[in-house]
Every structure is written in C-alpha cells, then in structure tokens.
Amino acid sequence: MSRPALDRVGEQAIDWMVALRAATPDDALLQRVRQWLQQDPAHQQAWNRLEQRLGQPLAALHGLNQRAPGQAAEARRLLLQPTRSRREVLGAMASLGLFGSALWGGWRSDTAQGWLADLHTARGERRSFTLSDGSCLSLNSASAVDVQFDAGQRLLVLRHGELQIQVARDRQRPLRVRTAQGQVQALGTRFLVSQEDAATRVVVLQHSVRVSLVDGQSTELQQGQAALLQGHRIERLTDEQQQRAAWLEGRLEVLDQPLHSVIDALRPYQRGYIRLAPAARDLRVQGVFTLDQPLQALAALAEALPIKVEHFGPWLMLIDLETA
C-alpha cells in the first residue's frame, strides 16, 4: 500500500524551500517565508519535518536555477514524493542531469562546491595536508582545491574557500595558487589565499609573494602585507590582516570590521542560509569568537550590537537591526 500524499501544509513548506534555493532570496521573499512560519505552529512543524526527512540533499538545490534554469519545478515534483528515501532523492536528482555524479560527491563531503576537487573540507571542518613536494596545505571550512603537480609545475587551483600554504623549497618549480581573479606565486614560504565573492584576498605571513591578474598586472607583497585582486586592479590593504590566520587555531579575531565580513567568516561553520539585512551590514565589530561554535558567536554579536537574530529551524537565520 502506498503512503498518503503530503498534506497542504507540507506542500507549502516544500514550495517555500524550493523558492529559497532556486534563486538568491530577496527581502520580499524572506519576509513572506517568515510570515508563513509565524502564522501557525503547524507551519513550523511541517518545515522541521521536511528538513529532517530530506537532510543534506535539500541543500544541493541551492543555486539550482543558476546551474540549470527552469528545473526548480522538477525539483519540487521530486520532493513531493514522500515515499522517496534520502538516497532515492539524490539518485532522482542525478538522473535529471542537473549534477550527475558530482551530486554524490557533494552529499558525501557536505560541501556541494567541492564535489570534484582533489582536496576539500566539509562545513565546519578544517584540515591540513602534506603535499607530494613536502609543502603543508591547510584548508579552512568548506574549501576546495585542485592539485596539479608534475615535473614542470606546482599549481594549486582554489575553487572556493580559504587556504594557507607553507611552501617547500623548489627552485625549478615555483609554487602558484590560481583563483578566479588571478594567481599568487610563492617567493618565500607562508601565505593565505581566500576566494571571496568578487575578489581574491592574499595575506603574506612570511617572506614574499608575487600576485598577478589575468590581464598581466602584477606586484610583489612582503611579509605583513596584504592585497585584494579585483577584476582589473590590485588593491593593497593598509589595515591589519595578520589576524586572519587565526582560523588555523579555530578562532575568528575581529579588529574593527563591518558585521557583514564577520558573518561571511561564520557562514562556512553554520549550516543553512544566513540573511543579513542591508541596514545592519556596516555595524562595526571587535572581538574574538570561536569558529566551531557559530551559534554562540552570533548570540554574542546580538548582545553587543543593536541587532536581532531570528532562527527558523536549522536552515534559515535572519539578522536585522533591533526595532524599538
């Protein structure tokens, strides 16, 4: 005997979840979701049940329309089949040709963007690797790197996230890190590279590096210096950047930074979607937080700043200015 179909509230919960993951949520959509969740306790219960039932595969729907326009409706159809197990949902999604075998890798690693990367970390995970040349590579949470080492080169391709590299000496093959905006070539030993939304951040911890853009612009950075690689320009950073290496010890050290940069640093450690209201983005923050306890960090921010943090199950968090 087949199981009964989902009730109307369950279908509504699926509609909201698919809408949130089919595109970048805007303020109006997030407000409608919040109102729906608050209308009736049954709505929140249906939301929680759906999350528990589907788990991580639902996160794979994030950015679905960007990868395969027009497939949100098909994703909803799959989710509306309550007899499907977690594995069956994944298999059905793969059968659509949306993600192929990459979907399975993303499910196993808990880092959808790192499905096919040579080295990756899951959300909330930090790892160190000893490369074939003896270099020591450390990856921050939710990061992914391809390794292309052969007789003529040592190249790391940072797909997303953040790395620190302690470079082993090899005069014949200088180590390079390639990102979406350009590349970093080691002239010394230790540096950080972070792939951000529209820029690459480079922080030199020891000795020096040469940074360059795709168009050929380049410059050298010495120990203690940092820069952003942005499209057609290299912006040298004058404020202190060395504290950014604190993630290696599980800390987030903040020295008078805007709230949006703090939230961006916490996102890889907190599952689900965190929405920061534009009005609160530029509040200034200073302090030290534990990366492995992002909820405590967010609670501390709510105590120190005029903001409110609203939780709607484990998948959605809204941060806005506190209203009088």
What single letter denotes the amino acid at residue 186? A
Cα(131)–Cα(263) distance, rounded to whole angstroms? 31
pLDDT score recorded for residue 44: 80
The confidence score (pLDDT) of residue 58 equals 41
Break the chain down into helix, strand, coil percent, rounded to 5. Answer: 35, 35, 30
- Structure pTM? 0.68
pLDDT in tens, the chain (324 residues): 343 444 678 778 777 776 665 555 566 777 788 788 888 888 888 877 766 655 433 444 444 434 444 444 545 454 444 444 434 444 444 444 433 333 333 333 333 445 567 899 988 999 999 999 999 999 999 999 999 999 999 999 999 999 999 999 998 999 999 999 999 999 988 999 999 988 999 999 999 999 999 889 999 999 999 999 998 899 999 988 999 999 999 999 998 999 999 999 999 999 878 889 999 999 999 999 999 999 999 999 999 999 999 888 777 888 999 886
Rounded distance, CA 18 to CA 62, Å?
A: 8
Phi, psi angle pair for 228, to nearest 5° = -110, 130
Q: What is the pLDDT of residue 323?
A: 80
What is the per-residue pLDDT for 258? 95
State the pLDDT at residue 116: 60
Question: What domains can be seen in the chain, in order of their start residue?
Answer: 8-109 (no CATH), 119-241 (2.60.120.1440), 250-321 (3.55.50.30)
Q: What is the reported pLDDT for 15?
A: 76
Helix (H) or strand (E) holding 244: none
Residues 320 and 279: beta-carbon distance below 8 Å = yes
- Check residue 35 and give its pLDDT: 85
> CA-CA distance, 49 to 253, in Å (whole number)?
37
Distances (CA, A) of 111 to 47, 72, 143, 309: 23, 21, 8, 25
